[in-house]
Amino acid sequence: MSVAVAQEEREFHLDDKEFRYLADLVKKQTGIVLADHKKNMVYSRLVRRLRALQLAGFDEYCALLESKRSNHEMGMFINAITTNLTRFFREPHHFDHLAEQLKTQFEDAPTATRIRIWSAGCSSGEEPYSIAMTAADSLPRLAAFDFRILATDLDTSMVSHASAGRYELRDSDGLSKVHLAKWTMRERGGNGFTVKPGLRERITFKQLNLLHEWPMKGKFDAIFCRNVMIYFDGPTKDRLLDRFADMLAPGGWLYIGHSETILEQRDRFTPMGKTIYRKAGS
């Protein structure tokens, strides 16, 4: 079936001008760059918004986003466009490395030692919960430390989902039987499980646009920002990496996605393994 025929059979028509408007708006709001080949993806993610709002076409949707009434819909628009793909202990070598560093740096640390980790782009929460499990497994004295994880995401619906800590059993891929038994509660007669409160209480979930101002003041010992920068152009990525470096404590670690590189930032970060970097000069 040709693209032209497929377009004709669609419920709505998304022309190049409307796509360009939406793509420019996404870049302005999030820094994510949508190339022309993402047009079908944009259509498939936004068509449900048009139906829900009972709009006649993308021209009306663009007009709504442009209007003063668009504050709520702007959030829904961003939520629909952003990608949320994750799993527990995704890219496990990162968690192996984190466990090793936590033991090395903090195993014999004094009581109340401050430890901070940021999951930047936490999606539905599997990443920060994996970080919390890794820390609890690595540091038997974790309860004695001032240990906190900040988990942020652009998508407000993902932040809400992650904060609840509830997942379907089909989402448990990556979790060992030990982790399931130790850190989760199985629903009676159901197909879901919930992360135990003792682990959830170590994590603060917040909505945050990485391109806007950051309210955090203290330094982080590690930052996870995985499979987020692939959507940014070069200058935007460079600015973000500079800000990450500024937010890391001396010797702090940055973990990025498997398809990402930051070789152009060697003055700020030193490569220490597969998609693992240490703040330079530490």
DSSP 93-137: HHHHHHHHHHHHHHTTPPTT-EEEEEEET-TTTHHHHHHHHHHHH
What span, in angstroms and rounded, lies between the C-alpha atoms of 260 and 230?
6
Pick left, alpha or beta for residue 31 (phi over 0 → left; psi -120 to 50 → alpha; otherwise beta). left
In the β-sheet with 166-168, what is the strand arrangement from edge to edge? 166-168, 192-195, 184-186
How far apart are the C-alpha atoms of 69 and 73, rounded to whole Å?
8
**3-state DSSP assignment of residue 146:** strand
Q: Confirm whether 153 is a catalytic residue.
A: yes
Contact yes or no for 99/132 (Cβ under 8 A): no
Catalytic-labelled residue, pool 51, 90, 137, 153: 153
Handedness of CA 274, 255, 155, 65 (dihedral sign): negative
Pairing state between β 276-279 and 269-273:
antiparallel
Other CB atoms within a 10 A radius of the CB of residue 107 amount to 11
Give the SS3 label for residue 171: helix
Catalytic residue of the set 10, 16, 20, 45: 45
Which residues does the annotation mark as catalytic? Answer: 45, 153
